[in-house]
């Protein structure tokens, strides 16, 4: 009989790129798979979706969404609970007490990220996280999205594995569209930590040379920004607002279609929290699309971009350097196409979900066997 797997979260959407489109879609190939999601979900015939109300406030989620998730999950009686949000750890603990195997999927080094985060971050939440994080270290198995996260978890009592958030190549357009437009692509959260302010300053400079250029920006506001009004108040925004096209949150597969028509992808992050030790997923998405990448000059990022000659690594706080590299990409079609081809080849060989999926299957089998021995 197949193990019953529950992907547990109280905040992720039904089209979340890691929890649903990678993890749940993969486990559905081998296990009876259930998933708690908010808002709409992609249809998958082998996943049993359970909708939860969407609530952006952490306090309101704890008060109104968590009790619902708790009772719904108990009725499902999963054998394996795969937790995708730290706030859901208390629910997972109850399942551990009833005999289920629990895996905590660490997407980010929360202990470091909380230092710079302004949304859903106060003293009581930090205490809540630290308490249940300590419990998880003693009782749960772990999946880490980055190699560096293991350094913050040296005291695990059970097994762990690194499964990177590399792109699923089946969702990427087959080939880039080599457009003559002067368009650029950004996919990810909108925040100052992710250099939105630097991007706007660089756009002001680029507009002087290419007044009709366009920057297609996909993602929602978060981390250190709370509203679009804050973006509109950034220096230079009024000068380039016609060049910046904000789409808000759009499923990645839809954003890829626009990205494939652009000249390059931007993935700048400032040296905040765990960023220097974490791969930005969008680097590999841009590479998979055949786009040159402009990213931060961090050793980890250089080990991918410079090693594969697929873009540029620059000081993420220096708008003039970003402008120079964007201008170079516009004016050097042979260079950008070669960099794009190099990146695409590297992703197809090394940085793809098919490789990570096999690691996921192997780890699941390992923890299921361990659980059977303990019971």
Q: C-alpha angle 189/194/195, rounded to 5°?
A: 125
CA distance 356 to 360: 6
pLDDT at 58: 85
Read out DSSP for 157-186? SS-EEE------GGGS-SS----SS-EEEE
Q: What pLDDT sits at residue 375?
A: 62
pLDDT at 240: 98
Mean pLDDT of the chain: 92
Using alpha carbons only, what angle is made at residue 185 by residues 182 and 190, rounded to the nearest 5 degrees?
Answer: 135
> If you average pLDDT over residues 231-259, what whole number do you get?
95
* Residue 372, helix vs strand vs coil: helix
Q: Which of 121-130, 272-281, 295-304 has the lowest mean pLDDT?
A: 121-130
Tokens of 49: 């979706």
Compute the distance between CA of residue 369 and CA of residue 363 in angstroms, rounded to an integer: 10
Query: 145, 162, 169: which is closest to 287 by C-alpha?
Result: 169
What homologous superfamily is domain 169-349 in, according to CATH?
Answer: Glycogen Phosphorylase B; (3.40.50.2000)
Per-residue model confidence (pLDDT) at position 269? 96
Distance CA 141, CA 363 (A): 10
Domain ranges of the chain: 4-166+352-374, 169-349
Over residues 253-264, the mean pLDDT reads: 93
Using CB atoms within 10 A of its CB, is residue 322 exposed (0-12), middle (13-18) or buried (19+)?
A: buried
Q: In the predicted model, what is the mean pLDDT of residues 313-320?
A: 98
Pairing of strands 4-8, 80-83: parallel
- pLDDT value for 41: 66
Give the whole-angstrom CA distance, residue 215 versus residue 261.
Answer: 11
Confidence of residue 176 (pLDDT cuts 50, 70, 90): low
The class (CATH top level) of 4-166+352-374 is alpha beta
Give pLDDT, residue 223: 83
| Beta-bridge mates of residue 216 | 185, 245
Q: Which of the two residues, 130 and 233, has the higher pLDDT score?
A: 233
Strand, coil or helix: 226: coil
Higher pLDDT, 321 or 223: 321
* Residue 16: closest CA among 224, 249, 193: 249
Burial 286-317 (b: 16+ CB within 10 A, else e): bbbbbbbbbbbbbebbeebbeebebbbbbebe
Q: Tens digit of pLDDT for each residue in 56-110?
A: 888 899 999 999 999 999 999 999 999 999 999 999 999 999 999 999 999 987 6
Reported as a single tens digit per residue, the pLDDT across 7-55 is 999 999 998 989 999 999 999 999 999 999 998 767 788 999 999 999 9
Q: How far apart are CA 135 and CA 375, in angstroms?
A: 20
How confident is the model over 43-65, as pLDDT tens digits?
788 999 999 999 988 889 999 99
Top-confidence residue, 127 or 180: 127
Query: Residue 365 to residues 76, 84, 101, 212, 216: CA-CA distances in angstroms?
Result: 21, 19, 12, 54, 42
């Amino acid at each position: 009989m197949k193990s019953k797997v529950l992907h547990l979260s109280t905040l992720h959407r039904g089209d979340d790129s890691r929890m649903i489109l990678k993890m749940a879609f993969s486990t559905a190939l081998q296990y009876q798979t259930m998933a708690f999601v908010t808002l709409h979900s992609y249809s998958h015939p082998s996943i049993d979706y359970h909708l939860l109300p969407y609530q952006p406030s952490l306090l309101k989620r704890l008060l109104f969404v968590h009790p619902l998730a708790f009772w719904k999950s108990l009725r499902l009686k999963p054998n394996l609970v795969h937790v995708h949000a730290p706030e859901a750890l208390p629910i997972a603990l109850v399942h551990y007490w009833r005999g289920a195997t629990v895996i905590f999927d660490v997407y980010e080094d929360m202990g470091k990220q909380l230092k710079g985060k302004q949304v859903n971050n106060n003293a009581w939440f930090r205490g809540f996280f630290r308490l249940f994080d300590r419990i998880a270290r003693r009782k749960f198995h772990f999946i880490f999205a980055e190699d560096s996260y293991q350094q913050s978890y040296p005291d695990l009592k059970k097994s762990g594995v690194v499964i990177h958030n590399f792109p699923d190549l089946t969702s990427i357009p087959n080939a880039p569209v080599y457009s003559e437009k002067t368009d650029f692509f950004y996919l990810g959260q909108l925040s100052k930590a992710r250099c939105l302010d630097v991007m706007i300053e660089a756009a002001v400079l680029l507009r002087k040379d290419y007044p009709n250029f366009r920057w297609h920006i996909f993602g929602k506001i978060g981390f250190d920004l709370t509203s679009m009004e804050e973006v509109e108040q950034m220096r230079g925004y009024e000068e380039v607002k016609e060049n910046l096209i904000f789409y808000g949150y759009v499923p990645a597969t839809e954003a890829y279609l626009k990205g494939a028509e652009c000249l390059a992808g931007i993935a700048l992050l400032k040296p905040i929290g765990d960023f220097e030790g974490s791969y930005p997923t969008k680097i590999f998405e841009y590479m998979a699309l055949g786009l040159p990448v402009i990213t931060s000059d961090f050793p980890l990022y250089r080990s991918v971009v410079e090693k594969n000659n697929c873009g540029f690594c620059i000081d993420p706080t220096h708008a003039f350097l970003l402008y120079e590299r964007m201008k170079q990409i516009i004016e050097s079609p042979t260079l950008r196409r070669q960099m794009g081809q190099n990146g695409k080849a590297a992703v197809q060989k090394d940085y793809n979900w098919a490789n990570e999926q096999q690691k996921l299957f192997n780890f699941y089998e390992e923890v299921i066997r361990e659980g059977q021995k303990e019971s």
